[in-house]
Amino acid sequence: MSDITIGVIGAGIMGERMLRAAIDPAQTSVRVGKVWDPSAAARARIAAALPVQIADSAEALIAGSDCVYIASPPASHLAHASAALAAGKAIFCEKPLATDLAAATAFAATAKGARAAVNFPMATSFSAERIAAWLTQGAIGTPQSLAIEVAFRLWPRPWQHGAASWLDGRAEGGFTREVVSHFLFLTRRLAGPLRLLESTASFPEDGRSERAITARLSAGPIEATLTGGVGTTEKDDHNIWTLIGDQIAGKGGAIRLRDWAIAERLTDGVWTPDGDAMPNERARPLVLQRQLAAVAAMTRGQPHPLATLQEAFDVQRVVEAILSP
């Protein structure tokens, strides 16, 4: 077993998913330290569900960890991250870095060079890896344009209703922060720096998160369009990231990532999935184990593919601009 101990702050959906990936016998990159959540009910629930130990406090958890995974709601991210870095620990944080853009800016600047990364699983996902390989191989020629589409039956999604108090709020929640950010990260990593050109966001319900967005942006030399909406599909969650190149239309000039995990190529006018593609339900725990292997490397000060603080901040800056009045 690894000598890297990871402590988990936050016993919600993402905290539990990461813990399940970490305690899987196939995972040997890190060992689980303790878990802490400010909610006594959450602590009791996770202790009953998984073979984990509960820390007495966030401070005690940080002291006993080599790396701290911060999976609490966004408003608490910076306080926990700053405390962990001050204690000399590595941090692996959920996005966004902070709910306040100025605070995120300052943190990204002061933490530059620290052992720190943000959990964008597309940094190590099988499907994103395949998309990157196709691009390297010149499968679509020179990329010309990109379209990102996200759609939801409801927001929050049914399995997130327990966290609706913040996931559907204006300050911390919404599908742009929670979902679109992943595709903006992928775009930034594969195509180049992001620049928002124009956008709209609809907030029809007082105090609740957005229900529709549109945007036009550039990523390096590529222009991209973004659309998203709630109540626009019968699926709980549907997304397509499509990159079009200068090859002859219908003859391999496009590739796409569908529903988080299915990489596809356009061949003779037909979208053909990668032969190794698997649905997100199967891919997710395996990708989280890959993330943990990269976390172990990051904690040791070794090279790793995880999202940097700067990448995460660049994504957050665009997200908040889309959501601004």
Q: Tell me: the pLDDT tens digits for 177-207?
A: 999 999 999 999 999 999 999 999 999 999 9
pLDDT tens digit sequence for 160-183: 988 999 999 999 999 999 999 999
Question: Cα(first)–Cα(last) distance of the chain, in Å?
Answer: 50
116-118: strand order across its sheet: 53-54, 31-36, 5-9, 67-70, 90-93, 116-118
Six token digits for residue 144: 């010309």
**Would the pLDDT of 247 be above 90?**
no
Query: Which class for 278: exposed (0-12), middle (13-18), buried (19 or more C-beta within 10 A)?
Result: middle
pLDDT band of residue 249 (cuts 50, 70, 90) is low
For the CA atoms of 246, 247, 249, 253, what is the dihedral angle to 10 degrees? Answer: -90
pLDDT band of residue 298 (cuts 50, 70, 90) is very high
pLDDT at position 2 is 81
Average pLDDT over residues 218-230: 97
**Would the pLDDT of 309 be above 90?**
yes
Average pLDDT over residues 8-17: 97
Architecture, CATH, for domain 125-279+315-323:
2-Layer Sandwich (3.30)
Residue ranges of the chain that CATH labels 3.40.50.720? 5-122+284-308
Sign (positive or negative) of CA dihedral 189, 192, 195, 200: negative
pLDDT at position 269 is 86
Of the candidates 46, 47, 58, 59, which has an alpha carbon nearest to the alpha carbon of residue 13? 46
Q: In whole numbers, what is the pLDDT of the chain averaged over residues?
A: 95
Six token digits for residue 276: 């190794």
Beta bridge partners of 263: 257
Given a contact cutoff of 8 angstroms between Cβ atoms, the answer to whether 13 and 279 are in contact is no
Name residue, tokens 């659309």: 227
* CB-based contacts of 229, cutoff 8 Å, min separation 6: 150, 151, 152, 211, 212, 213
Beta bridge partners of 272: 265
Question: With a threshold of 0.85, does the pTM exceed it?
Answer: yes
Of the candidates 28, 308, 52, 15, which has an alpha carbon nearest to the alpha carbon of residue 188? 308
* CB-based contacts of 165, cutoff 8 Å, min separation 6: none
Average pLDDT over residues 243-261: 84
pLDDT band of residue 252 (cuts 50, 70, 90) is low
Classified by CATH at the fold level, domain 5-122+284-308 comes out as: Rossmann fold (3.40.50)
H or E element that contains 145: strand 143-152
**Would the pLDDT of 325 be above 80?**
no
pLDDT band of residue 248 (cuts 50, 70, 90) is low
pLDDT band of residue 245 (cuts 50, 70, 90) is very high
**Would the pLDDT of 305 be above 90?**
yes
Six token digits for residue 255: 């590739």
Average pLDDT over residues 267-289: 95
